[in-house]
Structure 1
Amino acid sequence: MPFSKPGVVIDLGSYCCKAGFACDNHPVSIFRTVVGRPKNRVGFYGKVPYDVFIGDEAESHDDYELYSPVVHGKIVHWENMERVWHHVFYKELKVAPEERAVILASASKTSIEDKIKCCEIFFETLNAPALSVQALGVLALYGSGFTTGISVDLGYDSTDIDPVYEGGLLRYAHMDTNFSGRDFSEHLTNKLESKGFDLGPAPYKVIQDIKQQAMFLTPCSEMEYNQVFNQVKYVLPDGKEIDISEEAHCTPEILFSPKELVGVDTNILPLHEAVITAARKCDSELHTELLGGVVISGGLSSIPGLSQRLVNEIEGYFNKAANVVDSPESYCVAWLGAAIFAGMSDVKKVWVLKKQFEEYGERIVRNKFL
């Protein structure tokens, strides 16, 4: 890396921000991507002093409204975004931004205009010496040891499928299933509450626990859960034990059979069909290479049976071997890929230096990141 100190790596997700240094193999800090502002002072911003909190600290204040600066992978509020980046440097990593080059992991659909705006903030406000904005899909593959393959990011508010060839994102082949981790949680919550189950004062914690402990996918859609698996029990916060066998099977199955479980009018695209369509958008000569590195990441990727089910569905369509790669730390595989990317020998080509931005403006950003 062409800088004297290890660069800062930031993976800015819609739900969590992961930050650390390019010399490490794990993020130093992971916190909620939210900004908290007092509810009772709306309309008085700039007139009355008030405290702004970031991440977990913002969630701890009941009298604060939480705002997400990133929605569906797109930055929707730049002032809040700037506060989050400032928080990363001064509170989480405790380093001066003017001393560190930054590699920023962004959604594959990030526009060039948004990348230019990122440069403006990092160079003109934070005074960083250099910035590189790279696609999450490419970085997820790097984090799993591939430069060619298909990234399947099962994120908080979007599921993005991106083919990558020799480190280059094939943007024209991008696919979205219209079903995310948040949709998953909402569907599970509605199913349990419709049965009269009391999820307690913090239902989202119960749902998160159930997602981590009880979910599973069968090898193929034809298999009935009661023919293959034992009954699944769960103990609610009030001590009541409930049967969640149906939810443990059917909720993850929405990923592959949405029309059967949600309704024929749903706009949810089956996960395997989205991956297959993304591959088919690419040249047929690339299919073997692309299917040799299907990397799944994000919160839902930890569901037992997901990788094998995806293998079966893909191989059944293409009649080719598919290699679906998951990781016990799939939540930070893109961050790890960014750290690896920052240390590559030819990485200097994809950094925009502050001096270059001052001299050439947005032209240099378009040349490097378009």
Structure 2
Amino acid sequence: MSFEKPAVVIDNGSFNIKAGFACDNHPVSMFRTLVGRPNNLKGGYGREYYDVYIGDEAAAKVMDLEVNHPVVRGNIEHWDNMERIWHNLFYRELKVAPEDRAVILACGATSTMEEKIKCCEVFFETLNCPALCIQPQPVLSMYGTGTTTGICVDIGYDTTDIVPIFEGGMVKYAHVQTGIAGSQVSKYLKKSLGQRDLLEIHLSFEDIEDIKKQYLYATPNSAMSIHKKIYKLPSGEEIDVSNEAFMAAELIFQPDLLDDNGKKRISLQDAVVTAASKCDEELRLELYNAIVSCGGMSTVPGINGRLQMEIQNKIKKSVTILTSSEPYAVAWLGGATFAGLSDAKKLWIQKKQFEDYGEKIVKNKFM
């Protein structure tokens, strides 16, 4: 299906939303998937005028706002706020009218049919988009690295999804979640620093995220190899985060180190091997030759080399980890690639088709 203007590609992340045009090789806009309202309203919305803050604006005023995360564990749970984010995305970030643009929407690996139907309702009935295509983030991540068969290892903010992909389709029964992702790492950092009484010097949520983004690293093996890491606060005060920088990434490979009230966790390498073992034996070699590492936590230095080593030690065979210079945007890049494929035209829904057939065509196209 061809369009007069480049399609808009949107990747709804739990932490960040990425958006841009299919003709580009990088998202135009990326901001926090966050909506904030003044906390002095105490839920009394609609009785008086108030400002709504979206994305990074909400994050900057988080102490004065009642904040909401519309996307939780990859699924949209707060639709009014998600609509606000999409509206803001078109008119303020991309500066285009939604009625002029077809949209490719990346949904979570566990997105339900009800969620996809609701997305169609919003984009066709509220935003008046002419056409919509909804594809799972793991599938688009494979397209983003130039392949259609492999294992997507998406280490996100509040979920880590391991999904085998065969010829552009998810092998749903082999989907595995580890139970440990970026949010659990952040909680560990906050707890560890708190035990050292460092939270008394006013470490904010943004400080914790900054430490996670800049200082974490994974070693080639589980041997202790702590490097000196000093974090400088905006106030100028310095704190030693060397132990936390080492241990935080190690939790992904040794989740038993995380004291979390007995919650079931699985190591990243075990999750990959388990997902592959659920697939047909003759397919596994091809899957192991294209393990796609993506998501915000996959940017941690050394994490891909460590994952490769751990998997190879378990299966006694060589594996290939496919990486990107922008792993946080791989699903978006895949959406931009997918938009230009001639074979993808049969997966689009046009506004008129949705008006005529409703839920039936959504189930037919996006099952």
Query: What are the ranges of 5 or more consecutive residues in structure 2 without an aligned counterpart?
Result: none
Q: In the alignment, residue 161 of structure 2 is paired with which amino acid? A: D
Q: Distance in 1 between matches of 2:303 and 2:81?
A: 35
CA RMSD of the aligned region, Å? 1.8
Question: Once the 2 structures are TM-superposed, how far is the Cα of residue 265 of structure 1 from its aligned partner?
Answer: 3.2
What corresponds to 1:323 in structure 2? 320
The residue that corresponds to 1:35 in the other structure is 35
Equivalent residue runs for 1:44-83 within 5 Å: 44-61=44-61, 62-83=63-84
Distance 1:57 1:205, change over 3 A: closer
> Alpha-carbon deviations, 1:25-84, whole Å to 9, x = none?
111111111112222223432332322221122234443211111111111111111111
TM-score (norm 1): 0.94
Which stretch shifts more, 199-208 or 112-121? 199-208
Distance of aligned partners of 1:12 and 1:107 in 2 relative to their CA distance in 1, 3 Å threshold: same
- TM-score, normalised to structure 2, is 0.94
Q: Which residue in 1 is equivalent to 2:98?
A: 97
Q: 1:361 aligns with which of 358, 362, 367?
A: 358
**Distance of 2:71 and 2:59 partners within structure 1:** 16
> Once structures 1 and 2 are overlaid, which stretch shifts more, 97-106 or 232-241?
232-241
Match of 2:13 in 1: 13
Q: Which sections of structure 1, spanning at least 5 residues, go unmatched?
A: none
> 2:362 aligns to what SS in structure 1?
helix
Q: Distance in 2 between matches of 1:316 and 1:43?
A: 53
Q: Which runs of structure 2 are paired with 1:251-266 in the superposition (5 Å)?
A: 251-262=248-259, 265-266=262-263
Letter in 1 for 2:106: A
User: Equivalents in 1 of 2:200, 2:234: separation in Å?
Assistant: 7
Shift in Å at residue 210 of structure 1?
A: 2.4
Change (3 A) 1:217 1:199: farther
Pair 1:41–1:205, CA change in 2 (3 A): closer
User: C-alpha displacement at 1:264, in angstroms?
Assistant: 9.3
Using the TM superposition, name which of 157-166 and 199-208 deviates more. Answer: 199-208
Instruction: Give the distance between the partners of 1:18 and 1:170, measured in 2 at CA.
Output: 25
Instruction: Give the count of matched residue pairs.
Output: 366
What's the secondary structure of 1:255's corresponding residue?
helix
Deviations 1:213-247 (A, max 9, x none): 332222222x222xxx5444444445444443322
Match of 2:139 in 1: 138
Deviates more, 1:309-318 or 1:115-124: 309-318
Following the alignment from structure 1 to structure 2, what is the Cα–Cα distance between the partners of residues 331 and 361?
Answer: 34
Match in the other structure for 1:154: 155
Give the SS at the match of 1:254: helix
SS of structure 1 residue aligned to 2:253? coil
The alpha-carbon distance between structure 1 residues 241 and 90, as it changes in their structure 2 partners (threshold 3 A), is closer
Q: Which residue of 2 aligns with 1:24?
A: 24
* Alpha-carbon distance in 2 for matches of 1:113, 1:242: 47
Please give the residue correspondences for 1:1-370 in structure 2 after superposition, counting only pairs within 5 Å: 1-61=1-61, 62-198=63-199, 200-221=201-222, 223-225=223-225, 230-262=227-259, 265-370=262-367
